[in-house]
Structure 1
Amino acid sequence: MEPKSNNALELLTAIVNGDAEMEDGIAELKREGVSSLEEALQVLKDEAAQTKGSADAAAWPDFASMRRKAPPSVVANIKHVIPEVPFVLDGTLYDPSDIERFNGQELHFFTSPGKEHMLVVDDRDLMADWLQFEYFQRYRDISSPPLKYRMSPGAIFWEHDDLNGLAIGLGPNLGYWRLSEVSLGLFTGDWNDRISSFEMWTVGVVQLSDAKNFEGPFFYHVIPPGGYGSVPSLRPYGWNDRTSSCGDW
């Protein structure tokens, strides 16, 4: 089955480029007869809660948690890693080295499918609003197909580039809040600051957080519904070996 297009991705690209606002997406849903996004999301989350996963993982996403701002002392100490690719923020295309201009500011990074740059959002509420919109678009048909086909199987995170080394799996709609508490198994150590690449099936979003408990900053990889995606290396985005919590949906 060919993956479907993703209007949510198109909306995010337009927002970051300064050509649209989040209200445009909400208006589109209302035109389609959706009166309450929050109510629809709750139904979907109740279904998703039935998904079984690792004993170390918890139900995810938690959109209320995503809205919580990081403490000012934490934000003030943010030093962004210079990526290998440029990025777009508020309609401006920046060179990779320009990321240092934003030290001391919380930024959230999205891969830009088919483009040689990242999309960057500096507003946590906007980020959470868009992620809710994307989640609802992906799972709004709650009667067909059955949940087990819609939400399987999840994501695999790898220790090294090119999907090599040790690996840890994560079922759909789950997250590891503290990778420092997730063991490497027979090996000593834990999964904190070890993820270098990942792949995903059917789930549409993988979220990485630089801090435990999903405190951010965040990196996102988003693919169209029903497809397969991978990031063979997080180095180009400045996100190699820096993930302390992660989730997918």
Structure 2
Amino acid sequence: MNQEQKNGTSKAMELLKAIVSGDAEMEDGLAELRSDGIVSLEDALTVLKQEVKVDQLVDGPRPDFQALRRSPSEREVSSIEHVVPEVPFLLGGTLYEPQDITRFNGQELHFFTSPNADRMLAVDDRDTMADWLQYEYFDRYRDISKAAEFRVVPGATWFEHDYLQGAALFSHKDRGYQRLSQISMGLFAGDWNDKISSFSMRAIGVVQLSDAYYYYGPFWYYVVPAGTPYAEVLSLTPYGWNDRASSVGCW
């Protein structure tokens, strides 16, 4: 187990913590990459794809980070009502109690958490969210010698009930479902929209949930350290995301 797994964090997560604490900006992380000679994350990922053929994520299609910058309409944003979680959240340098989330109704907030975290990290800017996700994706795989190869099929499995119970829905890495209302749970069981309560991860780093179709958000992300072979979230209730997802993805 490497140091990142012991701490349940990574350099990318430490950068995000500093950003939401008001101690850093996304530009600080990008400047560090440029100091290593990396001008563009897109260009760097293309080079990885050309040079490295051992990891399915690098060698396959990448998540569309630019699509995450698309903002919903003013009407859609004004109708946002956040669900009160069980854990506090850090936003703009302020730690808010769970019930404070209702103060942000009518505003987009996007949440991140990681194993053993006692709070969620909240971002209210889509460009910052998209830039950080791309940074985290690249940081996870730029040193391919540290990327473990697992004899499992990488992906996420979402479950109907807590504790990985009930009907199950699987997605391969770098894939997802952009409209869960079109995914059947089985004969006479309805569809998967607003039905996800827990999930497991195998050989992937990020699970994404959105409470709108087509990944419009708001979003909630679960991020695990590089080299984590398996992880699970046994209940989404503490984060205010039980029975809420309308689109999901993983990478």
Give the TM-score of the pair, scaled to structure 2.
0.88
**Structure 1 residue ranges without an equivalent (≥5):** 52-58
Please state if 1:202 is matched with 2:203.
yes
Residue 92 of structure 2: aligned partner: 90
Q: Secondary structure at the match of 2:15?
A: helix
**Structure 2 residue ranges without an equivalent (≥5):** 51-55
CA contact (8 A) 1:201 1:226 kept: no
In the aligned structure 1, how far is the partner of 2:85 from the partner of 2:15? Answer: 24
In the aligned structure 2, how far is the partner of 1:85 from the partner of 1:36? Answer: 36
Please state if 1:193 is matched with 2:191.
no
Structure 1 residue 33: Cα displacement: 2.6
Structure 1 residue 41: Cα displacement: 2.8
Structure 1 residue 42: Cα displacement: 3.9
Residue 155 of structure 1: aligned partner: 156
Kindly report which structure 2 residues correspond to 1:100-249, keeping only aligned pairs within 5 A, or say none: 100-141=102-143, 144=145, 149=150, 152-227=153-228, 228-249=230-251
Change (3 A) 1:3 1:159: farther
Residue 56 of structure 1: aligned partner: none
CA contact (8 A) 1:151 1:172 kept: no
Residue 79 of structure 1: aligned partner: 81
Q: For this pair of structures, how many residues does the alignment match?
A: 241
Residue 55 of structure 1: aligned partner: none
CA contact (8 A) 1:112 1:119 kept: no
Q: Deviations over 1:176-211 (max 9, x none)?
A: 111111111345311111100111122111000001
Q: Deviations over 1:29-51 (max 9, x none)?
A: 12223222121234557864865
CA contact (8 A) 1:192 1:242 kept: yes
In the aligned structure 1, how far is the partner of 2:158 from the partner of 2:142? Answer: 27
In the aligned structure 2, how far is the partner of 1:224 from the partner of 1:89? Answer: 22
In the aligned structure 2, how far is the partner of 1:181 from the partner of 1:116? Answer: 35
Q: Structure with the greater relative contact order (CA < 8 A, sep ≥ 6): 1 or 2?
A: 1
In the aligned structure 1, how far is the partner of 2:147 from the partner of 2:204? Answer: 15
Root mean square deviation of aligned Cα: 2.4
Please state if 1:18 is matched with 2:19.
no
% identical aligned pairs: 60
My pick for the range that moved more, 28-37 or 188-197, is: 28-37
CA contact (8 A) 2:147 2:227 kept: no
Give the TM-score of the pair, scaled to structure 1.
0.88
In the aligned structure 1, how far is the partner of 2:153 from the partner of 2:37? Answer: 28
Structure 1 residue 148: Cα displacement: 6.3
Q: Secondary structure at the match of 1:106?
A: coil
CA contact (8 A) 2:90 2:120 kept: yes
